[in-house]
Amino acid sequence: MTDVQDIAVSVRDLKTFFYTNNRCNKALNGVSFDIKKGKTLCIVGESGCGKSVTAASIMQLLPTLSRIEDGQIIYHAERGDIALHALDKNGKQMRRIRGAEIAMIFQDPMTALNPVYSVGYQIKETLKYHLKMTGRAAQQKAISLLKEMGIALPEKRVNDFPHRYSGGMRQRAMIAMAMACSPKVLIADEPTTALDVTIQAQIFELMDKLKRDHGTGIMLITHDMGVVAELADDVAVMYMGNIVEAGTVDEVLRNPSHPYTKALLASVPVLGRGRHQDIKAIRGSTPDPLNRPKGCQFADRCDFAIAQCQVMPPEFNMTKTHRVMCWRYQEVSAHG
C-alpha cells in the first residue's frame, strides 16, 4: 500500500451490521480502503450496496439498530493515530473529530440545513464548538467561507435563512459549514444527486479546488461513472457490502477486472454515439440483503459465473494498488 504518511483515514475489514425484526443484515461485510490526503476516493455502486453506511460508520452516525461489528477505522491525525471504531458514538473525543477533522456533506441540501436558523448561525455553530470562535470573528469567518464557496454578497447572505437559498447555494453553504474548521477529510454522500447538471459541475469544481488548496482528502460517494472519471484519484466499486474492485482511477476504468465494474461501465450512455447505442443494463436485480446468495454476491447476475463462484472469492492483488474480488479476474480483465 501507499506510504502511511499520505493516508488520512484507513479502513480495514470493516463490518457493520443492521438488526431489524430480529434479523441481521450484513450491510458492510469486510470493507477495506484508504482515504489519502489531498486525493479523492470515489465509492461507486448501486443503491443499497453500503456506500452511505460506510460513510456513516466512519462518522459514527449509524442509526440505533446498527453497529460496527468488526474491523478498524483508523484516523491518522497529526497528534497520532486514533481508532474511531473504538470511540464512544457521541462521546467527547468523537465529537471533537466529527465536524472539525472529518466533516460530511449530505445528499439533499434542501433538507440538510435547519430551516429555523440562518445559514450564518449554522456555520458559526461549528466554529463555536470546535474553534471556540464567537462574535465578530466568527461572523467574519462565516462570511469569508461563504465567499470562498462562491456565494454572491456573502455579507448579506450570511444572515439569510436556508429557504431563501437556491439548491446549489444550499449545497455551497453545506460545504462552507463542512469546511469551516479545515477538516483533513471531507465525506460527500452523493452531494449532487438532488441538483441539476450545471450546478453539479460547479459543486464538483469547488470540491476539486478545496482538495488542491487545503489538501483535504475527499471520500466521494456516487453512482455516476462520469463523475468518477472526472474527479477520482482512486476508485472503490461496492456491491452488496463488499468492495469488489478497487484501484487508481486509471486501473479501474481502463482495465476493469470485476464483471460488475465492467457491467457498470457498459451501462453508461455515451454522448455522441447517437440514440441507438446499445446500453447494457445489468440483468436481474440486487439480491435481498436478508437472504443473500452463498459465495460471490454477484454470481446470479454475472456472465462469467462458474461453479467456483458458490464460494466467496478472496481479494486478488493485480498490482500494488489494484485489487479485485473475483475468481476469474484474469479472464474478465483480458475479455475486451
What does the binding site for another protein look like in residue numbers (CB under 8 A)? 59, 61, 90, 94-100, 103-104, 106, 108, 111-118, 125-126, 129-130, 161, 163, 174, 177
Look at the block and give the residue holding cell 461513472.
225
Q: At 233, give phi and psi (nearest 5°).
A: -100, -40
Q: How far is the CB of 281 from another protein (least distance, A)?
A: 31
Helix (H), strand (E) at residue 304: none
Please say which residue, 30 or 50, places its beta carbon nearer to another protein: 50
Please say which residue, 86 or 334, places its beta carbon nearer to another protein: 86
Q: How far is the CB of 61 from another protein (least distance, A)?
A: 6
Please say which residue, 175 or 302, places its beta carbon nearer to another protein: 175
Please say which residue, 61 or 266, places its beta carbon nearer to another protein: 61
d(CA 190, CA 108): 8
Please say which residue, 92 or 254, places its beta carbon nearer to another protein: 92
Contact indicator for 270, 276 with CB cutoff of 8 Å: no
Q: How far is the CB of 116 from another protein (least distance, A)?
A: 6
Rg of the chain in Å (alpha carbons): 21
d(CA 277, CA 273): 6
Q: How far is the CB of 135 from another protein (least distance, A)?
A: 18
Q: How far is the CB of 140 from another protein (least distance, A)?
A: 19
Helix (H), strand (E) at residue 197: helix 197-214
Q: How far is the CB of 204 from another protein (least distance, A)?
A: 20
Please give the span between the terminal C-alpha atoms of the chain, in angstroms, as a whole number: 28
Please say which residue, 32 or 52, places its beta carbon nearer to another protein: 52
* Secondary structure letter of residue 237 according to DSSP: E
Signed CA dihedral, 199, 266, 32, 65: sign only: positive
